[in-house]
């Protein structure tokens, strides 16, 4: 990606559809057969018993359901041999193993959260779309995936977060305990990030996190400053239980190169090699808000090949005015718009003015959670490739889009 570019691919959930299709389009066979009998119900019962079935009722005249004892209720493997034996019977006209079909309700998506109308960035009318509602409708809401919000604290008692907080996985690396709540309630940054990623949905309170069924691990690793050992520990905390580490912080790179020193770099390396049972921890990083005159290539966290650098675009489809530009950015999500991003705030409050790449990064973490729910075997590199392959420039506005060295549009 050319370092002069001010526009980036918008992450969509097309990559979720790629992997869910492998699960939803594959045929699933049940332990039942529909058998057309040229005979009476007595003949059907006798036939079922002879072939190891239980007669499960009459669908309509002469069509009966047989359930085969000992077979799994659903399997991807058909029992063709059983069907062939049934068809050899003189009284059997047809015999078909019953398929399991996944049903999608073709209704509109609406929830009762108070700020749902302000969540323009997930509504179907917003273009380009991140396809979030489409993923939710398909059943992918982040369930079973854990996102660590690595920040200045998370209000674990917020009513729109509490149900998704895992207190066992959460940790405060300053006080050495499992309560990562900010020392000062006015320090709301981490709580806002948590809400953008995984606030509870349909509970009448604030809004919906992108992965509203995901688990949140609040990890407090800074309070206006931090140290390398705390950084390293926070980025390797519970590696096999946390899937994604969302980071909306970094050193200043305005006048000098900033980034992870050796111990932090080693921690990230350990995460991508050992995390998630060796599939690799996923590190999402906000690209920074110092504007186009700054260059996030100088940010060693963002330009690491082991992290996913995320920029912001506005609801108009432009690169955010505060956004930094660099070749290290992998993709963008929405970060500012009509009412900015809906989220949670300290003191149990709601907020619809969260903005910046700090908002975009947890949104990206939420999107990745949806993909991981669809396919938990994705490695850290798989996730990066999916973002590259499926993020889209369609609907984004910039006059400097060119083809890069491998023929992709930048």
DSSP string, 315-354: TTSSBPTT----TTEEEEEEEESSS-EEEE-STT-EEEEE
Distance (Å, rounded) from C-alpha 218 to C-alpha 152? Answer: 9
User: Would residue 189 show up in a list of annotated catalytic residues for this protein?
Assistant: yes
Three-state secondary-structure class, residue 62 = coil
pLDDT digits (tens, 9 = 90+) for 237-290: 999 999 999 999 987 655 567 788 999 999 999 999 999 999 999 999 999 887
CATH fold of the domain at 27-100: Alpha-Beta Plaits (3.30.70)
CB 193 within 8 A of CB 361: yes
In the set 158, 170, 172, 189, the catalytic residue is: 189
User: Pairing relation of β-strands 74-75 and 215-220?
Assistant: unpaired
Output the pTM of the full model. Answer: 0.77
In the set 170, 304, 319, 358, the catalytic residue is: 358
Q: What is the pLDDT of residue 176?
A: 94
- CA–CA–CA angle 316, 320, 322 (5° rounding): 150
Q: What is the mean pLDDT of the chain?
A: 87
Candidates 197, 263, 210, 204; CA nearest to 235 is 263
Q: Which of 41-45, 246-250, 326-330 has the lowest mean pLDDT?
A: 326-330
So where are the chain's domains?
14-22+107-390, 27-100
Percent of the chain with pLDDT over 70: 88
pLDDT digits (tens, 9 = 90+) for 209-231: 999 999 999 999 998 888 999 99
Q: Give the architecture-level CATH label for domain 14-22+107-390.
A: 3-Layer(aba) Sandwich (3.40)
Give, in order, the Cα–Cα distances in Å from 22 to each of 15, 105, 216, 392: 12, 20, 28, 22
In the set 151, 155, 299, 351, the catalytic residue is: 151
User: Would residue 358 show up in a list of annotated catalytic residues for this protein?
Assistant: yes
Alpha-carbon Rg for the chain in angstroms:
26
Residue 96: HSE in the Cβ half-sphere, 13 Å Cα cutoff = 7
């Amino acid at each position: 990606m050319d370092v002069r570019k001010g526009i980036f691919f918008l992450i969509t959930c097309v990559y979720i559809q790629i992997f869910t299709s492998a699960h939803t389009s594959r045929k699933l066979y049940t332990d039942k057969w529909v058998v057309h009998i040229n005979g009476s119900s007595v003949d059907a019962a006798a036939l079922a018993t002879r072939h190891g079935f239980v007669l499960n009722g009459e669908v309509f005249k002469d069509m009966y359901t047989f359930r085969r004892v000992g077979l799994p209720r659903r399997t991807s493997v058909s029992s063709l041999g059983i069907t062939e034996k049934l068809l050899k019977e003189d009284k059997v006209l047809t015999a078909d193993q019953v398929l399991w079909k996944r049903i999608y309700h073709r209704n509109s998506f609406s929830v009762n959260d108070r700020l749902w109308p302000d969540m323009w960035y997930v509504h179907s009318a917003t273009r380009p779309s991140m396809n979030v509602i489409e993923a939710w409708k398909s059943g992918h809401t982040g369930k079973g995936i854990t996102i660590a919000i690595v920040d200045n604290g998370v209000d674990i008692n917020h009513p729109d977060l509490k149900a998704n907080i895992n207190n066992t996985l959460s940790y405060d690396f300053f006080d050495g305990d499992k309560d990562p709540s900010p020392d000062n309630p006015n320090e709301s940054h981490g709580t806002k990030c948590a809400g953008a990623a995984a606030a509870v949905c349909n509970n009448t309170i604030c809004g919906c996190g992108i992965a509203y069924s995901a688990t949140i691990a609040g990890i407090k690793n800074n309070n206006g400053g931090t140290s390398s050992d705390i950084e390293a520990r926070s980025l390797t905390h519970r590696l096999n239980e946390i899937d994604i580490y969302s980071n909306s912080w970094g050193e200043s790179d305005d006048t000098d190169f900033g980034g992870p020193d050796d111990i932090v770099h080693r921690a990230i390396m350990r995460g991508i090699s050992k995390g998630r049972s060796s599939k690799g921890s996923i590190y999402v990083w906000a690209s920074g808000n110092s504007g186009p005159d700054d260059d996030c290539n100088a940010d060693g966290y963002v330009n690491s090949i082991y992290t996913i650098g995320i920029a912001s675009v506005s609801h108009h489809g432009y690169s955010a005015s505060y956004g930094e530009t660099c070749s290290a950015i992998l993709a963008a999500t929405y970060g500012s718009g009509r009412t900015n991003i809906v989220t949670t705030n300290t003191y149990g409050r709601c907020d619809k003015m969260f903005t910046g790449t700090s908002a975009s990064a947890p949104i990206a973490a939420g999107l990745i959670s949806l993909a991981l729910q669809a396919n938990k075997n994705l490695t850290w590199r798989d996730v990066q490739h999916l973002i590259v392959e499926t993020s889209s420039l369609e609907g984004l506005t910039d006059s400097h889009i060119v083809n890069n060295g491998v023929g992709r549009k930048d």
